Structure 1
């Protein structure tokens, strides 16, 4: 990237946030601190009102705006593909807002780029088998959850606990919103339990935004909580063999089960997986019948034998 393009990109970056830390500019453009200082000085000499410093970060003085940014077709296509992937997982209001934003982007593209984007939109699909009731539950409260996280608003909610199979009222300070294990989760301080807890959004039965606000600095760092949670998932290496004549049928599915590597032999392909739990993996392996076999660990082989016996007795 030449310097003129970089100066323009830094301007756009400064307009994207209230304050941009120095390290973010360094990492984005892969440049040193002195180069950032020179670029900031060049922009201020050109009349751009930039405030801040290296310690606190930089910002553009309120009231100054660049002309509308033009996207090229590759950037617009990247947003289109992102929207396709977003559709099955986002709540309806969020996805409608994304579609409106994409329409505004399409409106300022060149005619040739509009044709390119329209063709791509017609030809790219992300399939889902059904719209689950879980996603519908998420739709009801997701916009309010976003408001609470962004505005530091306390929430009062009725929450279904899968562990106790009961519904409890919880007052929560929502510290973050995290997506993992195919679901959105509120990471927040629970006033009932007096500690940070993980609340899956699809288990929220009722939710009300309170006028009371909170300061995130008054609570523990939820990133530390997440790291601790994830560290509890013990993973295990598994080795299996799949007959070569069916490996092509599981080329995509294997990635859902922690696939790591494979080594193709004359008749069988040896595959290695890293899994957190035996339950789902052994059921998946049983689907392959005599065309798949577990080599290790012994505990997984034992569970496969038990499951085979259960299936046999069930149909006997």
Structure 2
């Protein structure tokens, strides 16, 4: 295999199996151990960080925040995998090597998706079009720093002041149309959130850092201060066509749906993020009415009144 192919295969192996000894990688790639070390250096030059751990239980492992795309499963590999499984009881091993490659790719794809979820969390179900956003370049710089575990010096705008900070990006939250970077702030010595749109400058440094193995942005983000006192017990009456699509997703905790004979539903859930909840309800137009909480119902009514006034329609309040 070519050097490029071996580098790609090495990425897949580390994605799929986690930490591997240099000797194990050399055997899988059918090369000498010094070549594996060369591959590691080449990958790091390309911005793909391979962590090395010395000692009896040491080895190489791919950075858990690496967003390098694994290659798609080829038809021939899938056929080989099916063949190997079918022949397992008969001890047929002729296709075992190709099947192992296919299995590794499947595991790599699964692991990659799971790991990405640990570091990037979309509170809203829609994802931003970063190509149309002024935050795009800064976001991508921060994401690359996270993937390679490199510290970042930022200039952050807070009210009317600008401050330089050195941060270690831990993950990202997309909430209410904005990206937030959860990062360890060296000056404050604690985990903080930085609204990406307020970051005026990003300089990726050479110094590296580590992220606690237990860190998961999906569990941490509610305590990061991005939204405060925004837990709502929502009760809605939803009519077709949204009464058919809403139950297909989980929108909040303790979600329950009661189906009515006319095709409508009574929806209840504990939801987080007042602005996100309002935006979701407004997107359903006249197909939804808020039952609880009363203050949210009043806010939705006021939003609809603003729409009517924007079209020159005056509605007398009762």
Give TM-score scaled by structure 1 length.
0.49
> Which one scores higher on RCO, CA 8 angstroms, separation ≥ 6?
2
Of Structure 1 and Structure 2, which has the larger fraction of its residues in helix? Answer: 1
